């Protein structure tokens, strides 16, 4: 498709611009070639980390926000009120957006009236809990998503598992496009890892069930009991006031205190985003034991930190969960086991501690796989193609 020489103007609808944990959204706003991005949001945060020119950012508030808050029946009314206010801001700034791009499924539904006001195509990106958890926990979102799928123009997902989930929720398959979250490979130097001194394992994630961290730690304990030389670092913690997270934390601390792992597990807690890459790169194996949680929650595709770890040269071991198998090709770029299969995970770790040359081969193939399919430059170029295609059929 021949691209227009005129820059495309994309208005991004985001609940909060921008949470540290949603850092992958930033290049979609600022780094797509031939695209001028602007943002409408309820809340601006972390502007020192994610700078955006003041004339490209609109903060909006409903005049009756306190009245609407938490009242599900009033949310459609709030959506219409907010749409009028945002449209007025856009007109005052003489913006002429070509596309409205909503980030997270709920924001897509909230943006339907704004789409009608602006008379532009609506693209919505789904990322995880918005598709897996929310429709199970709050049933009205199934009906809301059906309207979104009918009126929205295109829906972006990270891989086949998420595409299948949206189809199950009622989205026409022809409206779904796979748009992976890329890693900035140019800023992630590949370091050739060795395994002669044992496995230096790192796991990263909030202490929530879907991350499967307790499964990963139990697998490490089994592998150590079977003779594998290993140490484990856990980056993450329970959020304040999260009873489930505190329970998982207590379980992991108890597992770490058992004889097989005593003195071999380091809990780092939450650390700043700009330090995570350095901490991960100091290890030689990334363990990603994600699974479907009992409440329906799941990874949206595969964790971005897993992609970054593979790019940096770590041997990656994970589960066949959501779109993790798109990144970890079993026996080619890493090793996989079934969700929750602690025994198999332990056997993989034992083998990794013994098959030293094989681990090195997998890390080399992993870097090439990320460069070829998951680099942020490649993904942002693909996103430009998505915008072109939407405009060609609008």
Distance CA 179, CA 84 (A): 30
pLDDT at residue 50 above 50?
yes
What percent of the chain shows pLDDT beyond 90?
Answer: 82
C-alpha to C-alpha distance for 241 and 232, rounded to whole angstroms: 26
pLDDT in tens, 110-127: 899 889 989 999 999 999
Predicted TM-score (pTM) of the model is 0.91
CA distances from 245 to 64, 97, 108, 248 (A): 34, 42, 29, 5
* Cβ pair 375, 338 in contact under 8 A: no
Radius of gyration of the chain (CA): 22
| Distance, CA of 114 to CA of 154 (rounded, Å) | 16
pLDDT at 84: 72
- 289-300: per-residue pLDDT in tens? 999 999 999 998
Topology of the domain comprising 185-373: Rossmann fold (3.40.50)
The residues with which 39 forms a beta bridge, in sequence order, are: 12, 57
What is the pLDDT confidence band of residue 73, given thresholds at 50, 70 and 90?
Answer: very low
Give start-end residues of each CATH 3.40.50.2000 domain in the chain.
8-182+376-393, 185-373
Listing DSSP states for 274-325 in one string gives HHHHHHHHT-SEEEE-----TTS---SSS-HHHHHHHHTT-EEEEES-TTHH
pLDDT in the model for residue 95: 82
**What are the tens digits of pLDDT across the range 14-29?**
999 999 889 999 999 9
* Domain at 8-182+376-393: CATH code: 3.40.50.2000
Report residue 274's pLDDT band, with 50, 70 and 90 as the boundaries. Answer: confident
Q: Where are the beta strands (DSSP E) in 107-219?
A: 122-125, 154-157, 176-178, 199-204
Tokens 């601390």 -> residue: 253
Question: In the chain, what percentage of residues exceed pLDDT 70?
Answer: 92
């Amino acid at each position: 498709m021949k691209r227009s020489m005129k820059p495309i103007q994309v208005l991004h609808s985001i609940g909060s611009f921008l949470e540290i944990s949603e850092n992958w959204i930033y290049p979609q706003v600022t780094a797509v070639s031939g695209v001028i991005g602007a943002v409408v949001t309820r809340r601006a945060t972390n502007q020192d980390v994610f700078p955006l020119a003041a004339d490209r950012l609109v903060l909006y508030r409903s005049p009756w926000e306190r009245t609407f808050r938490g009242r599900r029946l009033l949310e459609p009314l709030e959506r219409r009120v907010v749409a009028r206010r945002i449209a007025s801001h856009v007109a005052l700034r003489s913006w002429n957006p070509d596309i409205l791009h909503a980030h997270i499924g709920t924001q897509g539904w909230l943006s339907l009236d704004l789409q009608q006001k602006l008379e532009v195509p609506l693209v919505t990106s789904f990322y995880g809990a918005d598709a897996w958890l929310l429709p199970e926990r709050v049933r009205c979102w199934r009906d809301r998503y059906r309207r979104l799928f009918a009126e929205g123009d295109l829906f972006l997902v990270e891989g086949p598992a998420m595409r299948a989930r949206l189809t199950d929720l009622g989205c026409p398959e022809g409206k779904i496009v796979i748009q992976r979250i890329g890693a900035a490979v140019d800023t992630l130097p590949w370091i050739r890892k060795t395994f002669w001194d044992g496995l230096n394992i790192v796991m990263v994630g909030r202490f929530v069930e879907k991350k499967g961290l307790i499964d990963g730690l139990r697998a490490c304990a089994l592998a150590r009991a079977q003779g594998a030389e290993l140490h484990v670092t856990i980056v993450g913690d329970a959020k304040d006031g999260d009873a489930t997270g505190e329970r998982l934390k207590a379980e992991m601390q108890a597992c770490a205190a058992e004889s097989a792992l005593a003195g071999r597990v380091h809990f780092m807690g939450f650390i700043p985003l700009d330090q995570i890459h350095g901490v991960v790169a100091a290890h030689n194996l990334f363990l990603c034991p994600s699974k479907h949680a009992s409440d329906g929650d799941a990874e949206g595709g595969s964790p971005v930190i897993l992609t970054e770890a593979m790019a940096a040269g770590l041997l990656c071991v994970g589960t066949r969960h959501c779109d993790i198998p798109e990144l970890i090709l079993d026996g080619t770029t890493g090793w996989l086991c079934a969700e929750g299969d602690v025994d198999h995970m332990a056997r993989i770790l034992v083998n990794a501690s013994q098959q030293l040359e094989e681990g090195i081969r997998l890390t080399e193939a992993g870097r090439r796989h990320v460069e070829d399919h998951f680099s942020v430059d490649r993904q942002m170029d693909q996103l430009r193609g998505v915008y072109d295609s939407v405009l060609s059929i609008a």
